[in-house]
Amino acid sequence: MNSPPVIAIDGPTASGKGTVASLVAEKLGFHYLDSGALYRLVALGSQKASIDPTNGAELGLLAQKLVISFKNGQILLNSEDVTEVIRTESIGLCASAIAVHPEVRQALVGVQHGFRKAPGLVADGRDMASVIFPDATLKVFLTATADARAERRYKQLIAKGISAKLEDLLRDLQERDARDSSRGAAPLLVADGAKVLETSDLSIDQAVKTVLDWYQAKTA
């Protein structure tokens, strides 16, 4: 039996991959996996349980026990709506720090595979094409310059009424890029066979159309 098709979209933080992936999923009627949210949920869970972010073994055990669900645009952790809470910069930084642990990554592999259901899945993250779905129908590496990504993140935060400094965001992005690219477990990289989409000068609609065109060409 053939597995449902997967579009795997990887890329650095604030590259717009989440927005593009969710819109592509919507257009195709596919399921959507925001794998970054899973790491943010483990980060939040670790803070609630007072687990040291350097303790990979305990974090891995925690990740196995979390009850996570995505419903109607909401993200629930142990039945609590944490959609907004996990989007804070502090949780994002913590998530990047705990994502280096192989125990955490391994614990979440099965969770991510569970999202692969008919009629198909669009998954975004750092290692969707390279590790989690290496047989994806379409692999995309979505990127943008650090300056463009910092500006996008700045506008997002300001729009939500959260105060931010552009230079601080740029520094955080560069540090996170370095950590994500250099970690031993599933580093951020362009997977074999992936198409690179540079979005610094593209609108969201243009990026979504490009991915849809690539998918249609692959499945024609």
Task: Inform me whether the pLDDT recorded for 68 exceeds 70.
Answer: yes
- What pLDDT is attached to residue 109? 93
- What pLDDT is attached to residue 1? 60
Please write the tens of the pLDDT for every residue from 98-107.
988 999 999 9
Task: Inform me whether the pLDDT recorded for 146 exceeds 90.
Answer: yes
Average confidence (pLDDT) over 152-179: 89
Please write the tens of the pLDDT for every residue from 81-94.
999 999 888 898 89
Residues 12-48 as b or e (16 or more Cβ within 10 Å = b): bbbbbbbbbbbbbbeebebbbbbbbbbbbbbbbbbee
The full set of domains in the chain, from first to last, is 6-213 (3.40.50.300)
How confident is the prediction for the chain on average, in pLDDT?
A: 91
